[in-house]
Structure 1
Amino acid sequence: MAEDDPPRSAPRQPPTAEEQSVAKANEAIAIRPKRGRLTLLSRRIYNALLYHSQRQGVDEPVYRLALSELIGDARFNSNNTELLKSHLRDMQATTIEWSTSSSSLKRWVSSQLLGTVTIEEQGRGRPCMVTWRYPEEIKERLVKPHQYTRVLLEMSSQMRSYSAAVLYEIGARYLTSPGRLSMREDVMWWAAVLTGRSDIKEVDYRFLKRDVITKAIAEIDALCEEFGLELIEHKRGRKIEEIQFRVVPKVQQRLGDIDSPNRNVFDLELVARLVGLGIKQDEAQDLYATTDEGQIRATLDHVDARLRNASMPALKSPAAYFKDALKKGYAGLTSVEPASSVAGATPALVAPAPVLSEADRLRRIRELWENDRTGKARAMFAEMLEPMQADLRLRFEAERLEQVAAPIARAWRRDGPDSRIAATTFFKWLAQETWPEEPSDRVLLDFALQRGVPGV
């Protein structure tokens, strides 16, 4: 290197989960759409796009990113770009209003949430790229905001409902304010903000509180270590007309009881399977956000098996059958019962069963195979002597702990293998260390046949 050449800087390391935060403009937190609808996935995608926009800089006319990186940062699991496109369209179709005022100027702006988006499939061996723009009127306020709240993508992505995701960001905004009180607004305003819907004409507060607010507060209490939220109701006479929230810092940090550290992964393939049965997209997403993922998957497998059973009367409505099966727990049955005794179905036109590609089937079987192997690792660990267990714990901490998400690492340091949120990560690592060989397609197929996996 010549003497006059500047020293080359070391390549920038990818940010950790703790460092992966977005400076979100305060106006963009409690968004009340005037047209269109926002969903949990569209909010996750929007935060991920904003994060990368801020890293690339406000002067960039257009932002560009590998689609795989966007999918990873938005924490959902699907290779179906059509589903991704539908959520991008939602953001483009959503109209928001920005109001600012100072001593000399009042300004109102009505704008799209997102501008032009392009997905470029560059051919075999080259990454699929996504590019996007923001409307010029609000770009600088989004990418280089003056007043903002620092939002961790990892923490935001833990939320399973849209209302909890919104309240988490509101809580983060007001956690450091003197009174720790959120904005005070009327019930109609909160209904639109907490559901992401623009078509709400009237609200029964009892149902809003029961079905949206209470569940979101409980979700934040279970997942957020920094704070909890208390609902404050303001009455006019006997009627509750306005509400706000008090942010309550948590003295003792905890993660709560979480069945799996992978709750932060929103599985779009499950949502697509629900839509394939005839359930509307919005309803499928709401159903996924409020129902145990394992229960949905098991019920879908049950419905698939029922649709393929040629000896039974055809289902008139697979969507209705699924909802009834989910409600009554048919997936727990050892076999598919006759339609007349299970769901009161009557013979009708044959409905086509959802068809999975060969790659999708193998991926689904591999998931089940890995879960089975993880269970074997858990049982093996339980039978070990304490010194062997201690050695494995130390190895895990030295080799793997720095790579896992911050909430999982904190849970491990506190509770070790007894932690419900960290145990799965540990036992998956132990399974990989014990049986490092990759399964062949033949091994996966044999496993599926032995277990009677539907769709094989």
Structure 2
Amino acid sequence: MSNRIAEPFAEKPAPNHAVDDVLELRKPHEMIVMMPRSARVTLTGRRIYSALLQVAQTRLVALPAMPAADFMFEAPLAAILRTTGSSGSERTAAKKYLIEMRSLEVDWESTAPGDGVKWRGFSMLSEVALEQRRGENWVSWSYPPTIMAALREPQRWARIDLDVLAKLGSYTAVALYEICARYRENPSGVTSRKPVTWWVDALSNGPGPERREWRKFKNERVKDAVAEINAETDLDVDLIEHKQGRVITEVQFAVRKKRQASTPRTASNEPVDATLVLRAETLGIREIKLESLIKEFGDERVRAQVEVLERRAANKSLRTIENAFSYLRSLLRNEPQDEGPAEGTRPGIPGAAAPAAAPAPETPKAVPGAEGSRWLREQIDAMKKEVAALEPAQLKRWVDQALHDLARKGALNAVISRRAAQGDVLHGLLGSAVVYAYADATYGPHWKVDPQLFDTVQ
């Protein structure tokens, strides 16, 4: 019979292993590189796995001795999802990923020169179970003994901040960040030099037979991953390619820690305006990324540039925006400041014309901002819960409607179509469209308008 010990999810590890309020995983070097062998590992699946490792390590550090081989770790599924930056609407997909981890085999490698494969053909989890407790979903899981020992007493490890992982939006970015984090304090400032085929396998979420040619893989995934790591994390990384003749044969990355800002910005304690969140999600910008921009630039500046982005996205005569978040961040960084360059020029580009400043957004009259935002957020959460609880056949109806609506607006692309085909339909731009389609048809177009507002307008 398994040994089950319920634990508080937020229990802190030993004081010498963590920084205040930081969900940090001391990931053993043997587990830095995970190469799927039997099936694909999704971005959400990898994030969930990192969260499970952190919970397990926290518990193992607190135990006086190594537990029995059948020891089961436990945590609320909602807490795991919050740690990964996922929403409650992804609960159904999360359950699927957890069950698959029992049979999904991976090879674990160290990044050190000459180390090679450490553990071959390991299941990600030895056992996993999902159950309802007092109306809440709980997940229980266990690991192979080798992983248990490495987690409890890693000889060498990389510090992985789960909050940072939650900001990264692609599997390749997460895999590359974890490798580069291993070299955060390394005096050489570079990762190991490896063949291009090794890097393709290390940064891909699928088995080796699906391997892409390095040139294509670099253009399709690595460049974006590097840009995202540099924008969202504590590291700056640069790609270094080594050639034999004209052929690129080996690759490594330069890794530098970013300097601490001398005057860090004070994050606002106010909740993000739910209306702004909805507008951003409709453009394909996740709430967690929107929050990072608001912390850096302030609510009003972000709101004004979201309007600029909305107008740009609506202009069908221009090229489709591939990455709405990067575009919005560029708008904010290039926005003319009061004490900046002369009017009509872009910073750092003498004589270059700056884009016209966006008109200030109109302030709705007699709308109580904080209360209205709170009410709308609750409405959105309620709609998401209803959609997540639908039967598959019912959900498919609204997914089809959402895809039709996105196609009509010119917002449907290959990524969204692929996610729909894979059943990943409850988050991102597609998730927002599904919620809108369901809520508008079920409750009418005024479901997002607080009835009490009409009592305040005379």
Tell me which interval the TM-score lies in, with the shorter structure as reference length: 0.5 to 0.7
The answer on whether the counterparts of 2:201 and 2:211 sit within 8 Å (CA) in structure 1 is: no
Match of 2:121 in 1: 110
Deviation at 1:191, TM superposition (A): 1.6
Q: Check 1:116–1:77 CA distance in 2 against 1; reply closer, same or farther (3 A cut).
A: same
The 8 Å contact of residues 32 and 108 in structure 2, kept in 1 or not, is answered as no
What is the identity, as a one-letter code, of the residue corresponding to 2:181? A
Partner of 1:25: 28
Aligned to 1:245: 253
Structure 2: how far apart are the matches of 1:179 and 1:156?
Answer: 24
Is contact 1:92-1:113 (8 Å) kept? yes
Q: Distance in 1 between matches of 2:441 and 2:133?
A: 23
Conservation of the 8 A alpha-carbon contact between 1:192 and 1:200:
no
User: Structure 1 length as normaliser, TM-score?
Assistant: 0.54
1:257-276 equivalences in 2 (<5 Å): 262-263=288-289
Aligned ranges 1:227-376 → 2 under 5 Å = 227-251=235-259, 253=261, 262-263=288-289, 321=404, 324-325=407-408, 328-329=410-411
Deviation of 1:202 after TM superposition, in Å, equals 4.5
Contact 2:30–2:118, Cα closer than 8 Å, also in 1:
no
Query: Does the 8 Å CA contact 2:31/2:109 hold for their aligned counterparts?
Result: no
Q: Secondary structure at the match of 1:53?
A: helix
SS in 1 for 2:169: coil
Looking at structure 2, the residues matched to 43 and 141 of structure 1 have their Cα atoms a distance apart, in angstroms, of 18
Q: Compute the displacement of 1:92 (Å).
A: 2.8
Distance 1:318 1:79, change over 3 A: closer
Deviation for aligned residue 1:137:
3.1
Question: C-alpha separation between the residues in 1 aligned to 2:109 and 2:48?
Answer: 24
CA shift for structure 1 position 240: 0.9
Task: Note the C-alpha offset of 1:170.
Answer: 1.6
If the length of structure 2 is used for normalisation, what is the TM-score? 0.53
Is this contact kept in 1: 2:32–2:109, CA < 8 A? no
SS in 1 for 2:102: helix
Q: In the alignment, is the contact (CA less than 8 A) between 2:126 and 2:144 conserved in 1?
A: yes
Where does structure 1 lack aligned partners over 5 or more consecutive residues?
1-10, 266-288, 298-313, 332-352, 370-438, 448-456
Distance 1:220 1:93, change over 3 A: same
- Partner of 1:228: helix, strand, or coil? strand
Provide the aligned C-alpha RMSD in A. 4.6
Which of 177, 198, 201 in structure 1 is aligned with 2:207?
198
The amino acid that maps onto 1:263 is K
- Separation in 2, partners of 1:19, 1:246: 25
Q: How many Å separate the matches in 1 of 2:47 and 2:122?
A: 20
Aligned: 1:78 with 2:104: no
For 2:217, give the aligned amino acid: L
Give, in whole Å, the separation in 2 of the partners of 1:135 and 1:44. 19
Tell me the amino acid that sits aligned with residue 196 of structure 1.
N
Cα shift at 1:204: 2.5
The equivalent of 1:156 in structure 2 is: 165
Counterpart of 1:119 in structure 2 is 130
8 Å CA contact 1:186, 1:241 repeated in 2? yes
Separation in 2, partners of 1:323, 1:293? 21
In 1, distance between residues paired with 2:247 and 2:45?
34
Structure 2 residues without counterparts, runs of 5 or longer = 1-7, 13-18, 61-65, 266-279, 292-321, 329-379, 381-396, 414-433
Q: Which residue of 2 aligns with 1:49?
A: 52
CA contact (8 A) 1:93 1:112 kept: yes
Shift of 1:198: 0.7
Which residue among 75, 97, 109 is the counterpart of 1:65? 75
Partner of 1:34: 37
Which letter does structure 2 place at the counterpart of 1:165? Answer: V
- Is the counterpart of residue 168 in structure 1 residue 177 in structure 2? yes
Report the secondary structure of 2:126's partner residue: coil
Conserved 8 A contact 2:108-2:120 = yes
Distance verdict in 2 for CA 1:19–1:73, change over 3 Å:
same
Cα deviation for residue 175 of structure 1 reads 1.3
Question: How high is the sequence identity, in percent, across the aligned residues?
Answer: 25
SS at match of 2:88: coil
Counterpart-to-counterpart distance in 2, 1:25 and 1:264: 32
What is the SS of the residue equivalent to 1:138?
helix
